Amino acid sequence: MANHEWSAAELRAKAETYCAMAEHCLFDVRQKLQQWNATAAQIEDILEHLQEAHFVDEQRYCDAFVHDKLLYQGWGRMKLRASLQAKHLPPAAINESLSVIEEKEYNNVLERVINSKKRSIKSSDPQAREKLIRFCLQRGFTYEEILSCL
């Protein structure tokens, strides 16, 4: 279907359906429209329509992304920020979403990540602590946060 020519109305309907199925940001929708071979003018028109009709909301996307990745994937603030920046989201929206994370909840997630990784590391491993710290750093937690939790 990559070579199929979609009309402007079909592209708009497809984009609306795409946004209605799950939360997406403008960056994601733009990429999807490019995959559907929309012209630059069509893309801008459709993105404007989606924002006006509240199918796409950058702040809502940031909030949902932070909530889901923190709770379900156990990501730390650093990885969350980097992922949102990679999608070219406004810094104000990113900061707003990260600022509402409750410290108690954040620390519980970090403890869960640490305990989960501890189970997969042999207790006799002399580098167990370093492996644990490296794993948490890759998950986006800061060194200070990790040490305070250990």
pTM comes to 0.86
**Amino acid of residue 3:** N
CA–CA gap between residue 132 and residue 41 (Å, rounded): 49
Distance CA 146, CA 144 (A): 5
pLDDT in tens, 98-126: 999 999 999 999 999 999 888 888 777 78
Domain ranges of the chain: 8-52, 58-99, 103-149
Q: How many CA atoms lie within 13 A of 108 on its CB side?
A: 8
The model's pLDDT over 59-90, given as tens digits with 9 standing for 90+, comes to 999 999 999 999 999 999 999 999 999 999 99
Q: Where are the alpha helices (DSSP H) in 5-127?
A: 8-21, 26-35, 40-52, 58-68, 77-86, 91-99, 103-120
